[in-house]
Amino acid sequence: MKITAVKLVQLQGRMEFPGRFWEERLVRPLDLYPEHAAGDEQRLPQVSDGVYRMESIFVRIETDSDGLVGIGGPVDHHQAYIIGRQLRPLLVGHDPLAIERIWDRMYRQQIHGRKGTAMMAISAVDCALWDLKGRWANAPVYRLLGGPVRESLPAYASMLGFSVEPERAAERAKEYAGKGYRAQKWFFRHGPWAGKEGIEKNTALARSVREAVGPDVDVMLDAWSSWDVPYCETMGERLVEYRPRWLEEPVLADRVESYAEVHRRLPFPISGAEHEYTRWGIKQLLDHDALDVIQPDIYWAGGISEMLKIAAIASTYDVQLVPHGHSTPATAHFLVAQPANLCPYIEYLIKWNEIHQFFLKNPLKPENGIVTPRDEPGVGMELDPDKIEQQRELEL
């Protein structure tokens, strides 16, 4: 069997959603600069009241074997360009089941793209190849990964995009606890530049959520790489009484020593590595004893193939692996093949995963806070023609 084509297919449609989809954004490293700190963010174009324009790009890998294909995505235009211009020549004419060989060739070619957008492009191709392999084997991908170790996964509700005003956050926190989620993650809006007022508002968010969900629900808190060591220490003194399950990405990704210092100073777990890539990047953080929980994304850090290696490394360092949740289907297939003590949760981004799964025929969503991957062959990336209003292949 050989790969005959690698296509980048752009889909457009419309999603109905009452009211404002993105209620609030998170704090960002760029907020250090006032012109960025004050900016709003509405990343989903609104067509009319309650209707938003949806656009996604998917990778489609075709073969000469009786219509067998693999689908990955969504990806953005930058990743699509790399796939179309740089990775496609390494794929066409090659055996799609030789995933390790393909991965290593892509990685070696991208010597100037070992992280960031180039690695995200490699990840999308890798996930598409695993989808293809599952279809070829007529089996769900988790069975090809050695699973299932378990049949389902507890999801934590990742509340990016909801209002962080204390009363509204408390209402949402109660709502999602009532939907069966035993854990939630909330995103701070303020960093060191916001001074005492920002400290008070961040503290009020943590307080309101903890009081809303009670003592038995895990509460995670995310600083999205936007704090520094002194600010973490100040906030740590404020947050400890609310018993965070973890503080996520407290400092910029490349500041490994700062991560380690925060880990030493704060009295609760530290997580990170959402914006880290490959086994080598993860190992650097673990060698510095910087994290209790690592969070690389399957669609960013190297794909399913690389996440298997990252899981092995995490187990040797006795840290937990809770991947960032760009792709619910791919992440779920990977996680049910991993032991619960190593990978206790799957992240479900309440808003983002609605966007990323919009064009899927059978989107994978939690039921009563639990995610159960389907038994269909592959990863579960079949597209829904009823949601596609326009479709075109990108010429790259």
Q: CATH number for the domain including 259?
A: 3.20.20.120
Digit-coded pLDDT (tens) for 14-36: 999 998 999 999 999 999 999 99
> Is the per-residue pLDDT at 42 higher than 80?
no
Type of residue numbered 138:
N
Buried residues in 349-380 as b, exposed as e (16+ CB within 10 A): bbbbbbbbbbbbeeebebeebebebeebbbbb
Q: Which residues share a beta bridge with 141? A: none
Q: What is the mean pLDDT of residues 68-92?
A: 98
pLDDT of 85 reads 98
pLDDT of 39 reads 80
376 within some domain: no
Number of domains in the chain: 2
Gap between the Cα atoms of 103 and 109, Å rounded: 10
148 within some domain: yes
- CATH code (residue 8): 3.30.390.10
Domain boundary among 138, 164, 181: 138
The pair phi, psi for residue 176, each rounded to 5°, is: -80, -25
53 and 101 inside one domain: yes
Q: What is the mean pLDDT of residues 81-90?
A: 98
203 and 320 inside one domain: yes
Digit-coded pLDDT (tens) for 257-289: 999 999 999 999 999 999 999 999 999 999 999
Digit-coded pLDDT (tens) for 123-174: 999 999 999 999 999 999 999 999 899 999 999 999 999 999 999 999 999 9
SS3 content of the chain, % helix, strand, coil (to 5): 40, 20, 40
63 and 156 inside one domain: no
Q: What is the mean pLDDT of residues 338-352?
A: 98
Which residues are catalytic, by number? 324
pLDDT of 372 reads 98
C-alpha distances (whole Å) from 6 to each of 93, 97, 359 are 10, 15, 19
pLDDT of 318 reads 96
Gap between the Cα atoms of 123 and 27, Å rounded: 26
pLDDT of 384 reads 98
357 within some domain: yes
Gap between the Cα atoms of 231 and 199, Å rounded: 9
177 and 100 inside one domain: no
Angle separating helix axes 303-317 and 116-137, nearest 10 degrees: 100
31 within some domain: no
> Is the per-residue pLDDT at 41 higher than 80?
no
Q: What is the mean pLDDT of residues 208-216?
A: 98
By the 10 Å C-beta count (0-12 exposed, 13-18 middle, 19+ buried), 386 is classed as: exposed
Gap between the Cα atoms of 102 and 91, Å rounded: 7
- What the block records as the tokens of 334 is 């990977």
28 within some domain: no
Question: Which contacts of 381-384 are long-range, i.e. CB under 8 A and separated by 24 or more positions?
Answer: 381/58, 381/70, 381/71, 381/72, 381/73, 381/128, 381/131, 381/329, 382/71, 383/11, 383/58, 383/71, 383/359, 384/359, 384/360
Angle separating helix axes 116-137 and 99-109, nearest 10 degrees: 170
Give the list of residues 6+ apart from residue 181 with CB closer than 8 angstroms, or none: 155, 156, 157, 217, 366, 369
Q: Which domain holds residue 64?
A: 3-22+45-138
Domain boundary among 100, 118, 138: 138
Cis amide prior to 296 (ω within 30 degrees): no
C-alpha distances (whole Å) from 68 to each of 4, 129, 135, 396 are 10, 11, 7, 23
Taking only Cα atoms into account, the Rg of the chain, rounded to an integer number of angstroms, comes to 21
Instruction: Answer positive or negative: Cα dihedral of 372, 374, 380, 383.
Output: negative
> Is the per-residue pLDDT at 321 higher than 90?
yes
> Is the per-residue pLDDT at 43 higher than 90?
no
On the CB side of 103, how many CA atoms lie within 13 Å of its CA?
Answer: 23
Q: What is the mean pLDDT of residues 101-114?
A: 97
Q: How much is the pTM?
A: 0.97
pLDDT of 191 reads 98
104 and 150 inside one domain: no
292 and 222 inside one domain: yes
Band of residue 176 on the pLDDT scale cut at 50, 70, 90: very high
For Cα atoms 99, 105, 109, give the angle at the middle one, nearest 5 degrees: 145
pLDDT of 36 reads 93
